[in-house]
Amino acid sequence: MKVGLGQFAVARDWQENAATCAQLMQQAAQAQADLLVLPEAVLARDNADPDWGVNAAQPLDGPFMQRLLAQSRGQALTTLFTLHVPDGRDRVCNTLVALRDGDIVARYDKLHLYDAFAVQESRRVSAGQTLPALLSVGGMKVGLMTCYDVRFPELARRLALDGAEVLVLPSAWVRGPLKEHHWQVLVAARALENTCYMVAVGECGPRNIGSSRVVDPLGVTIACAAEAPALLFAELSRERLAEVRDRLPVLANRRFALPQLQGGSADCQAQ
């Protein structure tokens, strides 16, 4: 499977961001990528106002999504990103969507909200309540995660036990002391401990670190961006995955069961 990582700085204006996403989708399709992963919260951002992205939220039938659904029409490419979607209660969900050929083929409301390092995402954002279903792309099973989810190993493990071979992580990883180190360690750890590929894409504006990367099932970084906008590609190999899992059968050797997450989904607008 060929995967593209589209790292960019999210602007205040949703039209500008839609145009950037559409351009990256076009470039990834021309490069014959199977999967394009974009950052978290791509609809709008004003770094001087932490509530701006929430205030600018749009429903899934809004103009931002309509622009990108139109771009995806006729493409075999699957594109993943997150945006803020109103939930009808003066709050929003941080919703990951997967687009393919003009349709939304998967969605996931972020489970773990970023209430850490003096940030409180839960003040305006409602947490998801259900595990995301796996998505088939390029002959591989893809598990969906978002940003802060990477700090909770049980989610990645649950997805791997459900059959995920690739874990994707759209992110807006905030700068700060040791934060780049945390990002690199956590992304590599989730790949290595679950013998999965990890595709982690970061927003690269002045508030966030960028540093998008692909890590293979043995924890080796095989592609990486710096702090500037970038579109990079990597090949994910089922043969490599099978060979690693044969040598390092951690999923088969584990001794502890992991229960399914219970509860209904958050009531974010589907239209």
Instruction: Please report whether residue 218 resides in a domain.
Output: yes
Instruction: Please report whether residue 11 resides in a domain.
Output: yes
Instruction: Please report whether residue 269 resides in a domain.
Output: no
Instruction: Please report whether residue 221 resides in a domain.
Output: yes
**Residue 266 clears pLDDT 50, i.e. is over it:** no
Q: Alpha helices of 117-196 — where are they, by DSSP H?
A: 153-161, 179-194
**Residue 265 clears pLDDT 60, i.e. is over it:** no
**Residue 227 clears pLDDT 60, i.e. is over it:** yes
Instruction: Please report whether residue 180 resides in a domain.
Output: yes
Instruction: Please report whether residue 102 resides in a domain.
Output: yes
pLDDT for the residue 47: 81
Instruction: Please report whether residue 203 resides in a domain.
Output: yes
pLDDT band at 261 (very low <50, low <70, confident <90, very high): low
pTM for the whole thing?
0.95
Q: What is the CATH number of the domain that holds 109?
A: 3.60.110.10
CA atoms within 13 A on the CB side of 31: 21
Residue 191 structure tokens? 């790949």
CA–CA separation, 231 and 91 (whole Å): 32
- Residue pair 182/150 in contact (Cβ under 8 Å)? The answer is no
Instruction: Please report whether residue 204 resides in a domain.
Output: yes
Report how many domains make up the chain.
1
Residues with catalytic roles: 40, 110, 147
| Average pLDDT estimate for 261-267 | 46
Q: How many CB atoms lie within 10 A of CB 59?
A: 17
Average pLDDT across the chain, whole number: 94
Query: Which domain, by its residues, includes 90?
Result: 2-253
What whole-number percentage of the chain has pLDDT above 90? 89
| Average pLDDT estimate for 118-131 | 94
